[in-house]
Amino acid sequence: MQPEAMHTGGNGRVRVMMESYRLSNNLAVPKLGFGTYKATEGTGAEVVALAVESGYRYFDTASFYQNEEAIGEALRSAAVRRDEVQIATKVWKADMGYAQTKESLEASLVRLKMDYVDFFLIHWPKTDPEDTQWEERLLETWRAMEELLADGKTKGIGVSNFLTAHLTFLLAHANIRPVFNQIEFHPGYLQQDTVDFCQQEGIQVQAWSPLGRRRVLEDSLILRLAEQYNKSAAQICLRFALQKGVMPLPKATVAERMAENLSVFDFEIMQKDMALLENMPQTGWSGEHPDRARVYFS
């Protein structure tokens, strides 16, 4: 995955220079995308339209997020061509299996009013932590994904929330390898073993919750580094992800924070500070894990 320069322009109002990652299927993606989980509540398409204006060109959604209609509408009315943006959606846990996976993408495409997505991901490896049939279901799901790719319904296929054991199993049986693994990743919750495995295998890691849903933004180390680099706490988290070779998918609802989150290509965190961030005690974990019951924090 060689980074390369890629230009994404706004609709004439904003021009953002963004670098890109080259995926194992040879497609290029911007190094930073826009996450949409709960980002569109209430305001719907307006948030996505604002993100396009701010310079975002990669949009991550899922059937579970229930915002595909709004995203499709926003992208259709934005001043960008379909091939200037990339959209990823996901098949939900309950919809896995050969036929259901195909139906799931068809339904997503109807909601998006698009004839293809750029990436189609498996949202979670298992229906629940006690799922004993997950391996069989995963292979059926992946077979459908490979066919959807061959049919041109998606340009790339990947996974989300997979740990090394799930990936090892999939790689042993897949004809086509996943291009992405999207996991929770932020200072204080790196899942480093999974990141290492993905990077060895040429699977691009994407970070959901790269700001730890704000939970890490008040951390004293991050605040100190923000002051030192004259950047915000959010920018430290995003820059950290980039320097770890990860593609963060931050979400934000106002133009100011959208722009702030894109402005992370003009500084470098020194190695000794990267080490401090890498070694932070566990902070801001969502409580979600594919193999364990959800933990709720008060």
Distances in Å between the Cα of 71 and the Cα atoms of 1, 58, 114, 117, 142 are 28, 11, 11, 12, 25
Nearest distance from C-beta of residue 290 to ligand A2P, angstroms: 18
Q: Residue with structure tokens 């379909």? A: 82
* Contact predicate 284/212, CB 8 Å: yes
Number of chain positions touching ligand A2P (CB under 6 A): 18
The only residue of 30, 33, 212, 290 in contact with ligand A2P, by rule CB under 6 A: 212
**Region of residue 284 (left: phi > 0; alpha: psi -120 to 50; beta: else):** left
The only residue of 253, 283, 288, 291 in contact with ligand A2P, by rule CB under 6 A: 253
Indicate whether 251 belongs to the interface with ligand A2P (CB under 6 A): yes
Give the whole-angstrom CA distance, residue 258 versus residue 261.
5
Indicate whether 206 belongs to the interface with ligand A2P (CB under 6 A): no
Contact window for ligand A2P (CB under 6 A) among 75-83, 196-204, 247-255, 265-273: 247-255
The only residue of 30, 33, 35, 158 in contact with ligand A2P, by rule CB under 6 A: 35
* Contact predicate 119/112, CB 8 Å: no
Give the whole-angstrom CA distance, residue 166 versus residue 291.
10
Indicate whether 210 belongs to the interface with ligand A2P (CB under 6 A): yes
Indicate whether 273 belongs to the interface with ligand A2P (CB under 6 A): no
Give the whole-angstrom CA distance, residue 43 versus residue 276.
38
Nearest distance from C-beta of residue 252 to ligand A2P, angstroms: 4
If the CB atoms of residues 110 and 295 are measured against ligand A2P, the closer one turns out to be: 295
If the CB atoms of residues 74 and 96 are measured against ligand A2P, the closer one turns out to be: 74
The only residue of 22, 143, 155, 257 in contact with ligand A2P, by rule CB under 6 A: 257
Considering Cα of 232, then 234, then 236, then 239, what sign does the dihedral take? negative
Give the whole-angstrom CA distance, residue 7 versus residue 55.
10
If the CB atoms of residues 95 and 260 are measured against ligand A2P, the closer one turns out to be: 260
Question: Residue 207 carries which side chain, given as an amino acid letter?
Answer: A
Active-site residue, selected from the candidate residues 37, 56, 58, 65 = 65
The question of whether 296 is a catalytic residue gets the answer no
The residues annotated with a catalytic role in the active site are 65
Binding site for ligand A2P (CB under 6 A): 35, 209-214, 217, 232, 234, 250-254, 257, 260-261
